[in-house]
Structure 1
């Protein structure tokens, strides 16, 4: 990854001294504009990648998470949520099925917590092995409508074609919930999947670490704008993607977190299934995650008060040119788009925010 970090530094990257991740390339507004109107490239190599092998791998993960893993065929993918026995959220993961394994793209904390948690449910007779392969791969997201053109350029590379070849693809959109391998002219083999972890056009690329710099250089050379952690976090909050440690904790379940996209209600028994089924059957979702438009930033953890009573809490906050955007859990019966709520009480430090729907979330 040293060569990749050299390229990122040359592009103006400022690194976090503790994590080594690129905080910013010095042009966050331009990078966000590229993600919304062109194409931006972000490095998600600090996320975890687990490899699950063995004849029982589909059945095992099917029984440990919320989505229908059994139906996955090689070349397909889905999102799924790992929850506790009481349906409290642990992590949101993307599962990629290959011929001989399941690859799980998990949050940065997931590679530390999930293997040990899953191991608790492995029996000696289970033909399942779980390996953390994060150190062997880099992960990149291309974000924005221009990602189709970028993927077309990569396809040209894989065809050993130049831009003038009439039958070379100029713009490519992969079918949803699929993934495929591309081998570029450099010899780099890349796993490409539609979706960029946000509710925006894009794709995810899983690349061997020794080839990470080659892939990055190729994407930047054909017009992708580098996007750092701060800009990605702003996109995440604006889009409404929940994350462990903020929105996905022991305090919340996946229905409250708006993760309907990753839940199957027809799959039968799994860890936490009884609680989730009961919440659905009896309309038991008492709070929901919302976006909040604020005039100024507030601190995560700031309570929402109504008539002196706590009715919600802010979980993530990012500054914007117009103030700030937050994610907050709010009592279901009190919340509606456009509603004005007070954060922090009735004193002079209180802030008013307007509830807004965010595209990543879906509820019952």
Structure 2
């Protein structure tokens, strides 16, 4: 269903990654990485999130069900609202960070690439006989793009839409852009202004072309990875694993502390009440390239582990979980394998107890 989009991207210079186990190919680069980073900071970049998973949760118990299965509050939310939430295990270990959009008759979940089948199977375990909840994988039926950068609102306005610039994160509505019905939501997936767009798969290529013609600079996966590491967005398999919980990942904005019981709630409540977050996610500016999994040390003592790395125009950068006690005070320098590192605060995460 997404072949027309891929053909169009390839024709405009996209270099595609080889198809993975799920058969999905994605643009690695458009041979414009420096321009894309500049656009994300000062203009508008266009990232294709079509390979991310999309799940439709419907029927009358959908809000109660998600309220009980994830970290954020769903009961009482109205159509047009949205929020980030985390799927966790019974011991509050992270499975995935998702964005939820409340529709009139369903909740649309945007989840990490390749995670939709796993999360549907996970949720299905908790649907009991009397529950009115339906789960549908709509990844192939839809496409998703993200506009990243301070000029994103202008692109929407030029194409005939409203910017939603004064609305809260996650707020969304269906808007016609260049004659195409598109669900437009506030938020870029990182701590930079922008919008997420969801469209029918058979109109994705036309929407992509319309956005590019209005000076949105195409962004490949290589630049997105650099951006998400510099911003501190955690992903499954690296920062979101059963070794870590949402509070350690700094995802306080995804956690409702007063909504009552849900899977993992007891652990999260205890960590909050007793200020028991034992490790925190930090950025690291590295003197040389280092592999994820490398221990992080201070004065010869291991204090954490590197979880992601990327080479940027400013040098090698990484994400690492570090023991909270080792950050009192924050060390001027850390050792990461054969490299030295300087800790960097991350815009997407928070270390402060609410």
TM superposition score category, shorter chain reference = over 0.9
The answer to whether the Cα contact below 8 Å between 2:164 and 2:186 also exists between their aligned partners in 1 is no
Decide whether aligned partners of structure 1 residues 174 and 109 sit closer, same or farther in structure 2, where only a CA change above 3 A counts: farther
In the alignment, the residues of structure 2 paired with residue 315 and residue 255 of structure 1 have an alpha-carbon distance, to the nearest angstrom, of: 16
Farther off after superposition, 306-315 or 90-99: 306-315
After the TM superposition, which residues 317-336 of structure 1 pair with which residues of structure 2 at under 5 Å, given as runs? 317-335=309-327
Match of 1:127 in 2: 132
Structure 1, gaps ≥5 residues long: 159-168, 345-349
Cα displacement (A) at 1:174 = 4.9
Structure 2, gaps ≥5 residues long: none
Match of 1:306 in 2: 298
Cα displacement (A) at 1:10 = 2.4
Match of 2:48 in 1: 43
CA RMSD of aligned residues (A): 1.3
Residue deviations 1:33-54 (CA, integer Å, cap 9, x gap): 1001000001000100000111
In the alignment, the residues of structure 1 paired with residue 299 and residue 17 of structure 2 have an alpha-carbon distance, to the nearest angstrom, of: 42
Aligned length: 345
In the alignment, the residues of structure 2 paired with residue 307 and residue 216 of structure 1 have an alpha-carbon distance, to the nearest angstrom, of: 51
The answer to whether the Cα contact below 8 Å between 1:109 and 1:244 also exists between their aligned partners in 2 is no
The answer to whether the Cα contact below 8 Å between 2:47 and 2:147 also exists between their aligned partners in 1 is yes
TM-score normalised according to structure 1 size: 0.92
The answer to whether the Cα contact below 8 Å between 1:75 and 1:180 also exists between their aligned partners in 2 is yes
The answer to whether the Cα contact below 8 Å between 1:74 and 1:98 also exists between their aligned partners in 2 is yes
In the alignment, the residues of structure 2 paired with residue 58 and residue 310 of structure 1 have an alpha-carbon distance, to the nearest angstrom, of: 43
Cα displacement (A) at 1:205 = 0.1
Larger-gyration structure (1/2) = 1
TM-score normalised according to structure 2 size: 0.95
Match of 2:119 in 1: 114
Cα displacement (A) at 1:283 = 1.1
Cα displacement (A) at 1:185 = 4.6
In the alignment, the residues of structure 1 paired with residue 260 and residue 332 of structure 2 have an alpha-carbon distance, to the nearest angstrom, of: 38
Within the candidate set 231, 241, 245, 1:239 is matched to 231
Match of 2:335 in 1: 342
Decide whether aligned partners of structure 1 residues 61 and 332 sit closer, same or farther in structure 2, where only a CA change above 3 A counts: same
Residue deviations 1:307-348 (CA, integer Å, cap 9, x gap): 54321000000101232110000011112556200012xxxx
Secondary structure at 1:135 match in 2: coil
Residue deviations 1:192-237 (CA, integer Å, cap 9, x gap): 0010100001000001000001110110001100000000000000
